[in-house]
Copies of this chain bind each other. A is one copy, B any other.
Amino acid sequence: MELVQYCHAQMDVTDSNGETAFHYAVQSDNSQVLQLLGKNASAGLNQLNNQGLTPLHLACQLGKQEMVRVLLLCNARCNIMGSSGYPIHTAMKFSQKGCAEMIISMDSNQIHSKDPRYGASPLHWAKNAEMARLLLKRGCDVNSTSSVGNTALHVAVMRNRFDCVMVLLTHGANADARGEHGNTPLHLAMSKDNVEMVKALIVFGAEVDTPNDSGETPAFIASRISRLVTRKALLTLLRTVGADYRSPLLQGVSAEQCSATAQHSFFSLERSQPPPISLNNLELQDLVHISRARKPAFILSSMRDEKRTHDHLLCLDGGGVKGLVIIQLLIAIEKASGIATKDLFDWVAGTSTGGILALAILHSKSMAYMRGVYFRMKDEVFRGSRPYESGPLEEFLKREFGEHTKMTDVKKPKVMLTGTLSDRQPAELHLFRNYEAPECVREPRFNQNVNLKPPTHPSEQLVWRAARSSGAAPTYFRPNGRFLDGGLLANNPTLDAMTEIHEYNQDMIRKGQGNKVKKLSIVVSLGTGRSPQVPVTCVDVFRPSNPWELAKTVFGAKELGKMVVDCCTDPDGRAVDRARAWCEMVGIQYFRLNPQLGTDIMLDEVNDTVLVDALWETEVYIYEHREQFQKLIQLLLSP
């Protein structure tokens, strides 16, 4: 009773620091006192102290989540401008996750609140990945701009926060947003001595030749960097994707005219020696080609589909999180053709991660979206140790494709996912289809004396289950019922997809619908990146003559197992040679695109830097194979 009276008496009094009893209660972490103080409305509740902090600001700065809760219950105001914005901004500034969550949960609008000083959203204030993720998960606008026009990505780049940059990019931040002075994040990244960040931005779609308000492109800024090592690294980087090194003075000049000069400065910078007298004209032309290839062709997909007289097949390998490589390749194809993958192909086959992407294509999910999804998903899905809990993977699949969506709900393009029916020995390939399986006239492989459950009919097959079944990589995940990863039988699904299409067409002909059959004219087979080939000491198993030998045998057996699995599931090598020979014999255009990676990346890699590097290598590969790409696009677009 006395305490209450005391509190009432003292509520509005400030000390020499401008602090009220509320400030003191917060500092002493006394929620009981704070509750009592807050019982009656009082100016002291929202009083700024001499440092520009209300009690709520102070609680956020100190990370006192419970104090925040009580203050908010006492109706403390969230929109009092402190020395660095509103309380939510303070919570962000000091990376006080609990306090930020508390504020947002009490007042969800705070997620969008802009601090009056910079006009910055809480996301701009996020200092690490965790804080950024907190806001993005609750639906803040990833591309909201501050007063001067910078996005959170601009800020994260300026502050050299790679982890924040990755979270923002994978949540859909525009890598090419023009901010203050017309700078894109890539302009800002060039001076940060952080090659990985530059790679990440380019990989996520930042253009190297967007001029800022001073007419400078990011590439040009790179060429002006004083630190030689960084400058060289950046220029090598940019050169590998065919960036244009025009000086700002040449902006108005055509690419053909200026490239000589650009090449000059580029070569002289990089080699620190006189430029070659005769420039490589092919390379200059290439630059023009690739930039033209990137321009959308603006052809209406609905028109094209009807006109096409031949079928196109897209095949996507397995490879876990390395499916990002496929995504990057598809983004390049879509960008160059101006048409969604869905409309470029009549058949899409996928194994495991490739199967998930085949379904994403079917369900009209953009590949840029899927890129973000893959980066986000990996941390959820590959948590703990192998074999991973399958719950998060299944939740993710249900979230993306719906819990009740059936395979036949969307019918175009025709999609097949490979799975391994492992309730029998020898195991059999099963295709999950969004169409009726072709009837087979050949004799059954085995006498049907074995009582095996027939597979689910496509119209009853849940999409998320099909994805899960195709992607049950042994030792990574537990099998899904009787299905094991399709990669065991067809890590590169091309041969089986071609077999399926042939059988489908034969079935059509048998059923008198031969007029509906279109010949296959193009097969595009995308890989998830090739690991470097390494020499190994020969695998051996031997008869153990003593315990030490026995130990070696066990080791040998394990090594052998790995080798056998690697051999059999290698999606390159013979799988590609066979598909190429098959296609060439029939007169089908065959394209195999699979970047060589610098390191062996695991199916369950979670390190962003490693994955960004893989995507970077993919971009370099696309540039190096630009002629092949160009030919592919032309063929895909021809009627």
Q: Which residues of A contact B (CB under 8 A)?
A: 385-387, 420, 422-429, 442, 445-447, 450-452, 474-475, 478-479, 481-482, 484, 488-490, 495-496, 498-499, 502-503, 506, 530-543, 557, 560-561, 563-570, 572-574, 577-578, 580-582, 584-586, 596
Contacts and interface: CB of A to CB of B under 8 A. Distances in A.
22 contacts: A420-B567, A422-B536, A424-B535, A426-B570, A427-B566, A429-B573, A446-B596, A447-B532, A450-B534, A474-B560, A478-B540, A478-B542, A488-B564, A488-B568, A495-B578, A498-B578, A499-B574, A499-B580, A499-B581, A564-B568, A565-B568, A567-B568
Contacts of A478: 540-542
A530 B451 CA distance: 18
B499 A577 contact: yes
Contacts of A490: 574
Contacts of A451: 535
8 nearest A-B residue pairs (beta carbon): A568-B568, A499-B581, A502-B581, A446-B533, A426-B570, A561-B561, A495-B578, A427-B567
Nearest to A520: B585
Copies of this protein in the assembly total 2
B581 A503 contact: yes
Contacts of A539: 422, 474, 479, 484
B574 A496 contact: yes
B427 A541 contact: no
A450 B596 CA distance: 14
A582 B584 CA distance: 11
Contacts of A536: 422-425
Nearest to A586: B585
A427 B563 CA distance: 8
A564 B564 CA distance: 8
B578 A496 contact: yes
A535 B422 contact: no
Contact of A498 (B425, B537, B581): B581
A573 B450 CA distance: 16
Nearest to A426: B570
A123 to B, nearest CB: 37
A531 B424 CA distance: 12
A581 B533 CA distance: 32
Contacts of A531: 426
B426 A573 contact: yes
Nearest to A494: B578
Contact of A445 (B450, B499, B503, B573): B573
